[in-house]
Amino acid sequence: MLLTLPAHAVTSYSTMVGRLANLADRSSLIKLYDLGKSSSGDRSVWLTSVSDPSVDPRKTVRILILCRQHGDEPASTEAALEFLDHVANGTAAGARDALRHASLYIVPMVNPDGADLGTRENAKKVDLNRDWGHFNAAETSLVNKACRSIRPAFVLDMHSWDQPDPFRSNCFEASRDAGAAASAERDLQRRAVDEISDGTGQAISATSYHSGIEDTLCHRYMTGWLEVPSLLFETAAGPSSGPGFDRRVGLARATILWLLRDTAAHPDAWKHLVKVSACDRIAPSLTFGAASTVAKAPAPPAAPHRRGFPVHILWAIAAYVVVAICVARLRPVSREPGYIRIERVGEDEDGRPISRAVYVPSGEYKRHVLTRTGKR
């Protein structure tokens, strides 16, 4: 019997670390950083940078890409490793030019415990993409600290739907917020949807969310709290092996390369992204894992609802409307609105009529009508 191996097999944590170390050895463009230990303490969260060593990365457009917060969504890790292979081999078309003014920071496996266990959550059963702003998990805390050292102009959080569902298509999700970061990310979202679907032949949709709702998701936290433009990337459901998996990995890889090349294709749009994101206001340190660097970063907010729409006002308005309707229905008839009747009360010395306005409650009006028509 012939054994056919899929083109993309899911890479384990230890294999990934070996490949990353090899890539950093082979290419002067790629560097590798250990951000610290995962929740189990058994594995590390790794960061790779892709930058031109002849350019100061602090003066470049910096982009942070997060892969596999959910351990059972492996496509983005494979895509990142393939993209890095292309960079090291010099086969990532247009990348070298773009790296003159842009740098990528990629976390290829945010959740290494979940990846090896085959679970969505980390080893302590925390869903990392519901932990932003809380930072209860070691992994999100480490990546957040790195993000504050990088001060990126843009953050891409890469996922893949894990359940077969025809409604869950390939998509980029952006905020509907009116703020500058949200508006800038929607511009990028439009270009990404159009150009990446043209380039890959895969349909991609643009989805959106209201700020203040579930803002413990990474991209929502980035836009709503840090004011760093950010998109969520999802690929339509499919298997984790064979042609369906190849499709997902291919789309994710094309997205990473497109993002880098877009910085060169639309420099004005990226200048705007740099301007609206926090990276323009706080200089990046670009040192990772050092306690002194982390201590200098502003403390993250304690609870994630400060910037969202004040939901309690909506509840107050709804309660007022309900009470007002109930009161209106319980009002006695005599207090319903009536009408103004003009009555003639006499004449002045020149014979002109003198009138007065009389308020007639509607109850009396109804009685008057009923009496007159004899329908009591």
- The DSSP symbol for 128 reads G
Q: Which is nearer to Zn ion, 78 or 227 (CB)?
A: 78
With contacts defined by CB under 5 A, name the span among 71-79, 236-244, 281-289, 308-316 that binds Zn ion. 71-79
Q: Which is nearer to Zn ion, 230 or 263 (CB)?
A: 230
The count of chain residues that interact with Zn ion, using the rule CB under 5 A, is 3
Going through the chain in order, the beta strands assigned E by DSSP cover 30-37, 44-50, 61-67, 102-107, 154-158, 171-175, 205-209, 230-234, 339-347, 353-360
Minimum CB distance to Zn ion, residue 110 (Å):
10
Residue 172 identity: F
Minimum CB distance to Zn ion, residue 127 (Å):
9
Contact assessment for residue 356 and residue 341, using Cβ atoms and an 8 Å cutoff: no
Q: What is the C-alpha to C-alpha distance for residues 297 and 133, in angstroms, rounded to an integer?
A: 14
Minimum CB distance to Zn ion, residue 246 (Å):
19
Residue least distant from Zn ion (Cβ): 159
Q: Which is nearer to Zn ion, 255 or 277 (CB)?
A: 255
Minimum CB distance to Zn ion, residue 4 (Å):
28
Give the number of other CB atoms < 10 A from CB of residue 269.
14
Q: What is the C-alpha to C-alpha distance for residues 362 and 335, in angstroms, rounded to an integer?
A: 8
Binding mask 5-34 for Zn ion (x = CB under 5 A): ------------------------------
Contact assessment for residue 137 and residue 39, using Cβ atoms and an 8 Å cutoff: yes
Q: Which is nearer to Zn ion, 16 or 110 (CB)?
A: 110
Minimum CB distance to Zn ion, residue 6 (Å):
21
68 is an interface residue for Zn ion by CB under 5 A: no
Residues 257-286 binding Zn ion (CB under 5 A) are none
220 is an interface residue for Zn ion by CB under 5 A: no
Minimum CB distance to Zn ion, residue 129 (Å):
6
- The DSSP symbol for 267 reads H
Minimum CB distance to Zn ion, residue 8 (Å):
18
Any idea which residue has 């298509």 for tokens?
169
> How many residues are listed for the chain in this entry?
376
Using CB atoms within 10 A of its CB, is residue 139 exposed (0-12), middle (13-18) or buried (19+)?
buried
Binding mask 129-168 for Zn ion (x = CB under 5 A): ------------------------------x---------
Q: What is the C-alpha to C-alpha distance for residues 149 and 36, in angstroms, rounded to an integer?
A: 14
70 is an interface residue for Zn ion by CB under 5 A: yes
The three-state secondary structure class of 269 is helix
Residues 337-376 binding Zn ion (CB under 5 A) are none
Applying CB under 5 A, which residues contact Zn ion?
70, 73, 159
